[in-house]
């Protein structure tokens, strides 16, 4: 805990570490009793306090007296809360409205604080979001928030609250916030409630009767919305004249009543995922509205024309339907919404009706993310320049989307002029271009002097007429690059790297590179001047569906993750050989020409943890040893392969696979998956003694075999080592098999057994009763199966909770109530089945119902 405390207090902008502070700090940490939460809370509290007397006062505080464990943590939390500034206390108390364990959206929380008036300061109103971010960061630094998640650009998008921190928030907010027993609280006369969350159905249904008692309510959030319809809304809204935050997401409301206009103080309205189909014209008189969320309102086809009156609107959020339409359309003359700061989507429409791209011209406060949709409706460069994207310095993520270019490919005009006029501000960090039908990329992407220098993330998708790529290798901060569907690109050459000097590395910061669906790509060449200086930091490489690709770089010195799908098998082999020492995750799929895997991958790599191969029809196994004198010596060499790190090994649908190493040395293996390897007549030796193997999936072997080749259990002491950790077994049979492998009976620690495709199996074996740890039994595609083991053996399965049958129609009928096998299975709490693709039915046993 001292390391954690020291990191929070003395590192990353904290105070200077001195001997006296170190001495007192270690004593404080000792009093925390090894509890990380208490240590983090105090670290956050003392991060900016350099006064030794202050530290000594914390050490001598009475919170340490006579308590330990959770009670002590609660006292530490309360102490930290007491030291918060008043503006942070109210923001923290508001978080009591968020249920325990729920992920908290940073942006959404700041919008709620703003609506409540918590962000008022001496700074200009345009900076309220900045103030909110500062408040959020202060609470995060004080460890009132945790488990923060970040966007790809590094900014925090969400967090959580520890349960004890949430308890504190509820404690300090109890007189003003209500999230449970709301109706009871109101009936007892507590009318001082200012903020309320309803999530109990009974409370939701009865709330209108007591809603008149909360006329001073400022926040109303309903998380059990299905009972809220038009009538309900009308009943409660008439009593909400002071409300500032109203969230009715997922509700059954189809229309808001005209009386919504009486909510003069309303600043935040969330109708997302509701059935709302219309907003009344009176809605446009909500002049204080700051945030309007209409995400997934699929029935809403238009917005009131008077939306331009909402001059205080700062956040407008809409979303598309399942079929790709964007509804509702944009407000008419959005340019009049001069306070707008967050507009994640702008849908270009008819400029003559107030929906053109020039509506963005003066909205220079816009920040965060902006997607421009339907750009095919922009007629030329001049019109595109009318949006003045180059003036929007706060936009960090920009998406430029045309409708699927196949639908307007016959248009004679050159879309490149439109894209030329959409040049963004140089502060941009993420750029996406999708369905662009121009023949070339714009000068602001192609000229080294005009490149956007701060780009971190680029996606180029379905730009099907572009024949060459921009010089993206010059971008110093670029970390993620995704290129897909550029069908006209045949070669990726020196223009891609950009640099003409061997001293300047190309793509110096790139970590994640994806090349997908490049139908014409034949050659992706190395940097001509310096192979070693290209892609020095690429950790993840994905190349998929590039069927004509014959040449590409194969050396990536930092490569950890490789996914290679539907491409040349020889390239796959070279990639594995050249990066054998660094790879940790490998997935190879549909590489038809891949015959052997490099043996070095399983001998010279101490980092490899996950190796997966799918649908490689010519793959035979591990690369043969060239120095081996005969097959016997080669087999001996294969037995020497080992890995201390590999935990997952998958081979799926590799019909030619026949050569296996002895897996006894793969001591960290937890999952082994060998399926549809039709040349297999034996399985890898040594797997039965793998100490950590938890899941085994096998089957689809040579149909010539009459018995399933399951590993044989040894005698005496060896039997105790037989699959010691196996918990999950899936075995796939074939038409000739009439019985299950007897060796399965020795897997007494097995918890899930999945049996598939044993078509001639008639009766489950009596030894099934030996699997006393079994919790779940699944049997699929065994149409002749009629009998379960005897009732005596089935009753030995005391842990069995679920029997699931799929396309086992004979057994299903016999296991139903009144059937011949019912007395054998009636004690199993859950019985589910699915016959011949019909919808699954669920039958709970009578024993379970009584409980």
59-88 pLDDT tens trace: 778 777 766 777 788 888 888 898 899 999
- Residue that wins the pLDDT comparison between 302 and 850: 302
Lowest mean pLDDT among 34-43, 239-248, 396-405, 760-769: 34-43
Which one, of 173, 19, 17, lies nearest residue 96 by Cα? 173
Tell me the backbone φ, ψ of residue 723, rounded to 5 degrees: 45, 65
Would you state the pLDDT for residue 838?
39
Whole-angstrom distance, CA of residue 328 vs CA of residue 317 = 10
423-447 pLDDT tens trace: 999 999 999 999 999 999 999 999 8
Q: Determine how β-strand 585-589 pairs with β-strand 728-732.
A: unpaired
Lowest mean pLDDT among 369-378, 625-634, 777-786: 625-634
Which one, of 707, 706, 643, 698, lies nearest residue 675 by Cα? 698
Q: Average the pLDDT over 580-594 and give the result.
A: 94
718-738 pLDDT tens trace: 677 899 999 999 999 988 899
- Residue that wins the pLDDT comparison between 828 and 237: 828
Residue showing tokens 């190879």: 588
Would you state the pLDDT for residue 841?
41
- DSSP-assigned states of every residue in 425-472: -TT--EEEEES---SS--HHHHSTTTS-TT--EEEEE--TT--S---G
Would you state the pLDDT for residue 323?
53
Tell me the backbone φ, ψ of residue 226, rounded to 5 degrees: -65, -20
Would you state the pLDDT for residue 75?
84
CATH (one of 3.10.20.30, 3.30.930.10, 3.80.10.10, 3.90.1200.10) for 175-333? 3.80.10.10
Would you state the pLDDT for residue 189?
59
Whole-angstrom distance, CA of residue 147 vs CA of residue 158 = 8
Is it the case that residue 850 has pLDDT exceeding 60? no
On average, the pLDDT of the chain sits at 86
Cβ neighbours of residue 308 closer than 8 Å, sequence gap 6 or more: 331, 332, 333, 334, 336, 337
Q: Considering the chain, what percentage of its residues have pLDDT values greater than 70? A: 89
**Residue 422 Cα to chain centre, angstroms:** 31
234-285 pLDDT tens trace: 888 888 889 999 999 888 888 898 989 999 999 999 999 888 888 999 999 9
Would you state the pLDDT for residue 549?
97
377-404 pLDDT tens trace: 999 999 999 999 999 999 999 999 998 7
Whole-angstrom distance, CA of residue 63 vs CA of residue 177 = 27
**Domains 86-173 and 175-333 equal at CATH topology level:** no
Contact call for residues 455 and 475 (beta carbons, < 8 A):
yes
Domain boundaries, the chain: 1-83, 86-173, 175-333, 343-466, 727-851
Contact call for residues 169 and 100 (beta carbons, < 8 A):
no
Is it the case that residue 639 has pLDDT exceeding 80? no
Would you state the pLDDT for residue 385?
96
Is it the case that residue 840 has pLDDT exceeding 50? no
Is it the case that residue 212 has pLDDT exceeding 80? no
Lowest mean pLDDT among 47-56, 200-209, 250-259, 262-271: 200-209
Q: What is the CATH number of domain 86-173?
A: 1.10.10.10
């Amino acid at each position: 805990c001292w390391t954690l405390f020291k990191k929070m207090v003395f590192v990353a902008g904290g105070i200077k570490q001195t001997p006296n502070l170190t001495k007192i700090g270690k004593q404080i940490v000792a009093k925390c009793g090894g509890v990380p939460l208490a240590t983090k809370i105090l670290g956050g509290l003392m991060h900016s306090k350099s006064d030794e007397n202050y530290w000594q006062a914390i050490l001598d505080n009475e919170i340490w007296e006579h308590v330990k464990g959770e009670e002590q943590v609660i006292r530490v939390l309360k102490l930290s809360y007491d030291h918060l500034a008043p503006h942070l206390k109210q923001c923290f108390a508001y978080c009591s409205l968020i249920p325990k364990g729920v992920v908290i959206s940073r942006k959404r929380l700041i919008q709620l604080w703003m609506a409540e008036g918590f962000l008022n300061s001496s700074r200009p109103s345009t900076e309220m979001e900045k103030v909110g971010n500062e408040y959020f960061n202060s609470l995060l630094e004080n460890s009132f928030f945790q488990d923060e998640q970040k966007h790809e650009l590094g900014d925090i998008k969400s967090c959580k609250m520890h349960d004890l921190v949430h308890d504190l928030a509820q404690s300090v907010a109890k007189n003003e916030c209500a999230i449970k027993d709301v109706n009871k609280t109101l009936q007892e006369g507590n009318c001082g409630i200012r903020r309320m969350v309803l999530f109990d159905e009974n409370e939701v249904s009865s709330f209108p009767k007591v809603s008149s008692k909360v006329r001073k309510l400022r926040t109303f959030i309903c998380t059990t919305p299905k009972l809220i319809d038009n009538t309900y809304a009308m009943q409660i809204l008439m009593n909400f004249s002071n409300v500032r935050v109203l969230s009715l997401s997922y509700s059954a409301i189809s229309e808001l009543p005209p009386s919504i206009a009486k909510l003069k103080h309303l600043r935040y309205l969330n109708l997302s995922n509701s059935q709302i189909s219309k907003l009344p014209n009176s809605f446009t008189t909500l002049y204080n509205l700051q945030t309007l969320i209409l995400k997934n309102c699929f029935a809403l086809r238009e917005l009131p024309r008077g939306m331009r009156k909402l001059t205080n609107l700062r956040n407008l959020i809409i979303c598309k339907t399942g079929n790709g339409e964007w509804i509702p359309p944009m407000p008419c003359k959005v340019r009049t919404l001069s306070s707008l700061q967050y507009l994640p989507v702008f849908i270009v429409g008819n400029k003559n009706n107030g929906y053109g791209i020039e509506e963005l011209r003066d909205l220079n406060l816009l920040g965060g993310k902006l997607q421009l949709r339907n750009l095919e409706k922009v007629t030329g460069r001049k019109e595109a320049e009318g949006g003045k994207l180059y003036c929007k310095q706060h936009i960090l993520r920009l998406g430029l989307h045309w409708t699927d270019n196949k639908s307007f490919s016959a248009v004679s005009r050159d879309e490149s002029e439109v894209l030329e006029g959409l040049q963004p501000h140089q502060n941009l960090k993420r750029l996406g271009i999708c369905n662009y039908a121009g023949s070339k990329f714009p000068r602001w992407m192609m000229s080294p002097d005009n490149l956007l220098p701060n780009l971190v993330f680029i996606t180029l998708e379905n730009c099907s007429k572009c024949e060459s790529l921009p010089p993206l290798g010059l971008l110093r901060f670029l970390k993620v690059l995704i290129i897909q569907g550029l069908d006209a690109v045949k070669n990726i050459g020196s223009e891609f790297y950009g640099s003409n000097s061997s001293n300047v590395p190309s793509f110096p910061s790139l970590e994640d590179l994806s090349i997908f669906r490049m139908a014409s790509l034949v050659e992706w060449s190395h940097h001509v001047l310096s192979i070693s200086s290209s892609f020095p930091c690429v950790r993840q490489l994905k190349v998929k569906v590039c069927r004509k690709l014959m040449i590409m770089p194969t050396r990536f010195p930092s490569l950890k993750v490789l996914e290679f799908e539907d491409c040349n098998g020889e390239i796959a082999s070279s990639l594995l050989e050249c990066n054998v020492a660094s790879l940790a995750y490998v997935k190879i799929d549909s590489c038809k020409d891949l015959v052997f895997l490099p043996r070095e991958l399983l001998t010279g790599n101490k980092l490899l943890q996950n190796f997966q191969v799918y649908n490689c029809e010519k793959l035979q196994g591990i690369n043969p040893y060239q120095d081996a004198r005969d097959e016997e010596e080669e087999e001996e060499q294969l037995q020497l392969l080992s890995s201390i790190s590999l935990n997952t090994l998958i081979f799926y649908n590799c019909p030619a696979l026949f050569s296996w190493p002895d897996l006894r040395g793969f001591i960290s293996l937890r999952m082994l998956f060998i399926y549809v390897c039709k040349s297999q007549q034996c399985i890898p030796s040594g797997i039965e003694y793998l100490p950590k193997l938890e899941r085994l999936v096998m089957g689809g072997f040579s149909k010539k075999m009459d018995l399933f080749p399951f590993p044989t259990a040894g005698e005496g002491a060896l039997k105790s080592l037989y699959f010691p950790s196996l918990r999950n077994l899936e075995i796939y049979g074939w038409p000739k098999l009439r019985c299950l492998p007897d060796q399965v009976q020795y897997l007494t620690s097995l918890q899930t057994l999945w049996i598939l495709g044993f078509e001639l199996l008639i009766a489950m074996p009596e030894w099934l009763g030996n699997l006393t740890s079994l919790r779940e039994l699944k049997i699929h595609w065994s149409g002749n199966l009629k009998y379960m083991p005897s009732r005596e053996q089935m009753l030995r399965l005391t842990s069995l909770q679920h029997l699931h049958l799929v396309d086992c129609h004979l057994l299903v009928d016999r296991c139903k109530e009144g059937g011949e096998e019912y007395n054998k299975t009636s004690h199993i709490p859950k019985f589910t089945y699915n016959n011949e693709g019909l919808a699954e039915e669920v039958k709970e046993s009578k024993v379970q119902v009584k409980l």
